[in-house]
Chains A and B, each alone.
Chain A
């Protein structure tokens, strides 16, 4: 199993550009999520999905869109990038293990918006 994979690893955008961060998992997990990591703030939930065709907002959803057409893939779209979206983005999928959900994280995408 490759686990959770993310592409690209690094990206530089200009303000106003759009792009899609890719996330895929091969563990057949129903639940997937996107977090952003900023210095001194830990990780904050952007959007999540509890299965194909079902998505919902997390703590910081503004400026981001998601869709979930398959169990495996959960892309994150930035429609018009802003400098405030400079961050490291992590995708995760989760598995229920003895009553607790355990999350598996991808390696991250480091995004800089100039």
Chain B
């Protein structure tokens, strides 16, 4: 079956530090890959996505590149802010048309950014 593995957390950084959150996946075919963010007390918001190999998703200074050869979709940001403190989830959607985009999630990584 499909699975997503994220790096162990929590991650604590100082403001303006470089961020990497690792994500690897197992899936048949060519899934779409997503990063979702959950701010304290809120639901999940789509941060970025990539639908095919070598695609780069980007949003709000975050980037992730779909690497099929390493089955990875690592999240990066060059300079984090306190407002980036949140839980980040990597997810994939089953490529089968009949899956209707059912998501398989990683366990989530808690990011805390200090001033």
Binding site for A on B (CB under 8 A): 4, 32, 36, 42-46, 49, 51, 89, 91, 93, 99-103, 105-108
Identify the interface centre among B4, B89, B100, B103: most chain A CB within 10 Å of its CB. B100
C-alpha spacing A90/B107, complex, angstroms: 15
Query: Do most interface residues of chain A lie in helix, strand or loop, or is the interface mixed?
Result: strand
* Complex A-B: 30 CB contacts under 8 Å: A33-B102, A35-B103, A35-B105, A42-B4, A42-B89, A42-B105, A42-B106, A42-B107, A42-B108, A43-B89, A43-B103, A48-B100, A48-B102, A50-B100, A58-B102, A90-B44, A94-B100, A94-B101, A101-B93, A102-B101, A103-B46, A103-B101, A103-B103, A104-B46, A105-B36, A105-B43, A105-B45, A106-B43, A107-B43, A108-B43
